[in-house]
Amino acid sequence: MAQVVHPLLLCGGSGTRLWPLSRKSYPKQFAQLTGAQSLFQSSAIRLAGDGFAAPMVVTGADFRFIVKEQLADVGHSPQAIIIEPEGRNTAPAILAGALTLDAITPGALMLVAPSDHVIPDAKRFRDVVQAAVPAAIDGDLVTFGIRPDRPETGYGWLELTSTPSGDFDPIVQPLKAFVEKPNLATAEAMLHDGQHLWNAGIFLFSTTTLIAAFEAHAPKMLAGVRSAVSNAQSDIGFTRLAEAPWNNLESESIDYAVMEKADNLSVIPFGGAWSDLGGWDAVWRESGPDATGVVTNGPATAIECENTLLRAEDSKQALIGIGLKDIIAVAMPDAVLVAHKDRAQDVKNAVAALKADDAPQAETLPRDYRPWGWFESLGTGSRFQVKRIVVNPGAVLSLQSHKHRAEHWIVVEGIAKVTIDKLVQLVEENQSVYIPLGAIHRMENPGDVPMVLIEVQTGSYLGEDDIIRYEDIYARGQGAKG
């Protein structure tokens, strides 16, 4: 019987290089960048089917419901969703996944994959994974090397012991060395010598092999992660790692913590197309530029442009480029990026500048996603704010109150079940209800279509942290998101 491979999808990170579309509040893996599904959904679909178990996911608390919802939308149920109290880079996250899986299926094969990569030929990739299985069973830590097509300085590289075949047959060989992100001259030399591949950050190994590697090379981290896993709490279908031991861990990559020190490393080449969408130049490249090198998305129009990406994210916008060459222009409702394509890797500097100015655009999208749906601000003043709120069918907001604001709700689509103190009533389309300051209230959608309402807030303070929760089916605790 064939050995089953258990995917572990890494689903953290802030995706600052794809700002303003990708932000800390809703990073790039959840966005539809190059297709009908999000990058995360595409990753789950790619690693499914014969020979693959249901995925495990490691993510942050703010994204746990997005993960669950996006998997459900493509017909997948996760084996586990593991919640990191804080991001600690890839080594602790991967080890937590391995310890969790090993407790369920001792010695299982685990495939570690970032959730924000683009691999168009999913079958070819699955076949390469299966070709790597025997080496992983024999105790190797197998990494996947990507055939390079340019002297990329933004990736780490892998040095091989022998040159892959012309057809890039998936044959496992010992890995000679990891190579840090090179300068351009070094990258050009590696591209042409045939002995180097890009490091995709994808690994296959048994849980037994990985745990033994941490015992040998990072025992302190192993002890801390083991404590976080053994003291984890089950939370309405999620696994919350224990905060105290987790937050004391060093933030380290899997390469630095274990891989660069191990002597049982192997590499298998993958000759298909691949991208980590690490910048807007990569999105331009993967989106299929036309004969003039132009890519447009949304309500965007290019006039006499060359090698340019124009992307507008709001249907009410009109983004026009005239005579542009080698330009990236991305328009969001609250922020616009215009950059030379050669400066795509510097977009993170814009995020840093905005953070220094305490600008909300640095990390927060205009649309705020919650487990029950989403909301967006339509207008603000010194003592008022107007929001559009969309509540999914059957969803229920927390029973809550506010210290500093009153609210007026107008239902514009669907029907709302509204609780105000002891009064419970149905509010239909074109009807409204007033929530006095301090009243304990809740809204829910009892219907089978999304419910949309307009909320008008008035008061001395309108921040999202002005909320006291009394009951919440999503167990979010207190605070803006809990």
Collect the ranges in the chain with pLDDT lower than 70: 1-2, 479-482
428 burial class (0-12, 13-18, 19+ CB within 10 angstroms)? exposed
Residues 94 and 172 in one domain: yes
473 half-sphere exposure, CB direction, 13 A CA radius:
11
Helix, strand, coil % (nearest 5) of the chain? 25, 35, 40
CA 290 to chain CA centroid, Å, is 29
Residues 416 and 327 in one domain: no
Residues 343 and 379 in one domain: no
Strands 336-340 and 173-179: unpaired
- Residue 221 CA to residue 2 CA, distance in Å, equals 33
Give the chain's domain count: 3
Q: What is the pLDDT of residues 120-153, one digit of tens each?
A: 999 999 999 999 999 999 999 999 999 999 999 8
Residues 130 and 91 in one domain: yes
Residue 360 lies in a domain: no
Q: Which residues pair with 142 in a beta bridge?
A: 204, 266
pLDDT of residue 476: 79
Contact (Cβ atoms closer than 8 angstroms) between residue 144 and residue 274: no
Provide the whole-model pTM: 0.88
Helices of type H across 167-206: 184-193
54 burial class (0-12, 13-18, 19+ CB within 10 angstroms)? middle
- Tell me the residue type at 315: S
Contact (Cβ atoms closer than 8 angstroms) between residue 232 and residue 240: yes
pLDDT of residue 2: 65
Residues 285 and 388 in one domain: no
DSSP assigned state of 269: E
- Residue 274 CA to residue 147 CA, distance in Å, equals 9
Q: Helix, strand or coil for residue 429?
A: coil
What's the CATH number where 388 sits?
2.60.120.10
Where is the domain boundary, 225, 242, 270?
270
Q: What is the pLDDT of residues 158-173, one digit of tens each?
A: 999 999 988 899 999 9
Residues 35 and 167 in one domain: yes
- Residue 254 CA to residue 465 CA, distance in Å, equals 36
Where is the domain boundary, 323, 354, 385?
354
Residue 480 lies in a domain: no
Residues 265 and 224 in one domain: yes
Residue 349 lies in a domain: yes
Q: Which residues contact 156 (CB under 8 A, 6 or more apart)?
A: 178, 179, 180, 181, 198, 199, 255
Domain interval for residue 415: 367-471
pLDDT of residue 235: 80
- Residue 442 CA to residue 389 CA, distance in Å, equals 13
471 burial class (0-12, 13-18, 19+ CB within 10 angstroms)? exposed
Residues 371 and 240 in one domain: no
Chain position carrying tokens 């685990």: 110
Residues 43 and 189 in one domain: yes
Q: Which residues contact 439 (CB under 8 A, 6 or more apart)?
A: 401, 420, 421
